[in-house]
Amino acid sequence: HGGHRLVTVAGAVAALALACCAGLGALGWHLHAQWRIVTTADAALRSAPDADASSLRTMKAATNVKVLRSYEDWLFVTTEQGDQGWVPEDNAAKVWNR
């Protein structure tokens, strides 16, 4: 019976380690997600990372954008239609399903 207990404990430890690795991988993927969704109605896509910069266009809430780079609390994004510009980071939430 002693050998079975060792196998059971070893299996449980291996399963726990695998679950931890999978969880950390998912968290890392989420934290470095390139795709976000616009959360603000009529969010301005700006020409520069500044609230006073000219607005290139407005985006509706739920617009998908891909983050190309960031500067302070601004994101330089591209839309699925190919428009590029800056949005405040708090106007675009990370999404899991991209």
Q: What is the pLDDT of residue 31?
A: 59
Confidence at residue 97, expressed as pLDDT on a 0 to 100 scale: 55
pLDDT digits (tens, 9 = 90+) for 49-80: 999 999 999 999 999 999 999 999 999 999 99
Mean pLDDT of the chain: 86
Q: Which residues contact 18 (CB under 8 A, 6 or more apart)?
A: none
Q: Whole-model pTM?
A: 0.67
In tens, the pLDDT along 28-44 reads 655 556 889 999 999 99
b/e burial code for range 57-71 (CB count within 10 A of at least 16 → b): eebeeebbbbbeeee
Read off the pLDDT of each residue in 67-94 and give the average, rounded to a whole number: 95
